[in-house]
Structure 1
Amino acid sequence: MAALSAEGLRERLERALGAEHVEVEDTTPSRCATSFRLLVVASLFRGKGLLQRHRLVNEALGAELGRIHALEQRTLTPEQWEAEKAA
């Protein structure tokens, strides 16, 4: 079984969600097990609540999700992302 990588997860999320921007940080070194921090910006999130957005991310990760101990997610629409960058 191949090791999980931040780059591999980023590519998978970009493809599966049509994401405009994805950042994946491997936070495993500071924790006791495999963990990642995500920022996903996708127009697919428009009109969806936080739980719906996180479910979409979880579904996009598929089988890899079962190999991740901790997953911190920030899911934003492109408009939210632009507003955040402008602040």
Structure 2
Amino acid sequence: MLEQEIKQLLESKLASCTAEVEMAGNHLNLVVVSPAFEGLNPVKKQQLVYGLLSDYIASGTVHAVNMRTLTPEQAG
């Protein structure tokens, strides 16, 4: 299942990450929590995640991504 594959990718590449992944067709919804986002502005957080998903996006497997990127403190 692609959702699980993407979850594992994010959680293995981002420090102490937890990821919620939902797919609807080729649209991806993410909630990603990681201390790796500490000190980054929202654009830099998204760029970090997009970089990890670049192969899926380039192949067309993922067409659109909606994401929330949070530090553990922001996630509460």
Q: TM-score, normalised by structure 2?
A: 0.89
- 2:55 corresponding residue in structure 1: 63
CA, structure 1 residues 7+18, in 2 after alignment: closer, same or farther (shift >3 Å)? same
Higher strand share: 2
Whether the 8 Å CA contact 2:32–2:69 is kept in 1: the answer is yes
Q: For structure 2, which runs of at least 5 residues remain unmatched after alignment?
A: none
Q: Is the 8 A contact 1:17 1:60 kept in 2?
A: no
Q: Which protein shows a greater Rg?
A: 1
Q: Name the % identity.
A: 31
CA-based RMSD: 1.3
Which of 13, 16, 19 is the equivalent residue of 2:13?
A: 16
Counterparts of 1:27 and 1:19, CA distance in 2: 26
Moved over 4 A (4+): none
CA distance in structure 1 between the aligned counterparts of 2:29 and 2:50, rounded to whole angstroms: 13
Q: How many residue pairs were aligned?
A: 74
Superposed displacement of residue 27, structure 1:
1.9
Q: Within 2, Cα distance between the matches of 1:42 and 1:19?
A: 6
Q: Is the 8 A contact 2:34 2:71 kept in 1?
A: yes
